[in-house]
Amino acid sequence: MLSEMNLRRGLDFNEFRLFYQPQVDCLTGKVLGFEGLIRWQHPERGLIAPGDFIELAESTGLIIPIGEWVIQEAFSQLAVWEKLGRGHLTISINLSPRHFLHTKLPAFLMECANNKGIEPQKLKLEITENVALEDHVAVNKRINQLSEMGFPVSIDDFGTGYSAFIYLQHFPVQQIKIDRQFVRTVDVDPKSEIIIKSIVQLAQMLGLQTVAEGVENEEQWKRLQAMGCDEIQGFYFSKPLPAEEIHRFFASSE
Ligand code: G
Ligand code: G
Ligand code: NA
């Protein structure tokens, strides 16, 4: 069993890693950026998936320093890409509700962006529908505040929570990510196609960008393309990889 002490030790010994999965222009196949996904490179247990430690991080409050590490890492990577002439690439990170509403988040984001000389527009912030369980007024205020600072906010796993539409009503987000449960069967189940089509149309009418996650084959890509989805990501293009291994995607980002 992993404990709070294990997590603290992991932070102190810099054992966390950010892996990157390409986010691709659905029309052209061009790489626009990457989603950053955390892993824990444990000295004895090997690579640990976020599903095995994020809950513990949330309940112990360590999600704040871990999330801050993710933000710093993402900005460092954006700065490296900028030096390599890849300044157009974006990174999308996952923020837990607790960190999203944390008092110090806006100042921390701005400080990191300024330190690295990176435009806030390059860092997208993904929040899940769970954030809607929090105080709506506070969430709305925070999304407005971050949007005004230039950080795009995206709703992750859209369509799976019971409160999906409340976001669109009250929260001024820029993007929604269509959950892979719908994408998984879009090439075989007409119902999935109808649901995705309606999400894309809804998003278009509200002026929001759509990203479909979990694309695993070309047929799914083509269907999403025909529906007018903006961006896609999934194993068809790549699984999440360490920064050193994603350079091969740079050729397809031009
Ligand atoms: O990469 P993987 O499929 O194992 O990720 C599983 C889930 O873990 C993701 O869907 C995401 O919600 C969560 N996750 C990944 N990286 C982070 C992170 O940096 N912070 C938080 N809070 N959650 C993350
Ligand atoms: O919910 P979130 O977007 O954070 O989920 C990202 C996770 O989904 C990553 O941890 C990644 O491993 C997983 N994932 C990414 N692409 C695919 C895919 O094409 N198929 C499946 N089954 N999982 C994927
Ligand atoms: Na995500």
Ligand 2 pocket test: which of 91, 96, 180 has the largest number of ligand atoms within 8 Å of its C-beta?
180
Note the pLDDT tens digit of each residue in 185-197.
Answer: 999 999 999 999 9
For 3, phi and psi rounded to 5 degrees?
A: -115, 170
Residue 162 pLDDT greater than 70, yes or no: no
In this structure, the residue with its CA closest to atom 19 of ligand 1 is: 38
Please state the pTM of the whole predicted model. Answer: 0.96
Stretch 67-85: mean pLDDT, rounded? Answer: 97
Nearest ligand to the C-alpha atom of residue 40 = 1
H-type helices in the chain, by residue range? 4-12, 54-60, 63-83, 97-100, 105-116, 136-149, 164-170, 180-183, 190-206, 218-227
pLDDT of 132 = 77
ipTM: 0.95
Q: Is the CB of 36 under 6 A from ligand 2?
A: no
Q: Which domains does the chain have, with CATH numbers?
A: 4-253 (3.20.20.450)
d(CA 99, CA 104): 9
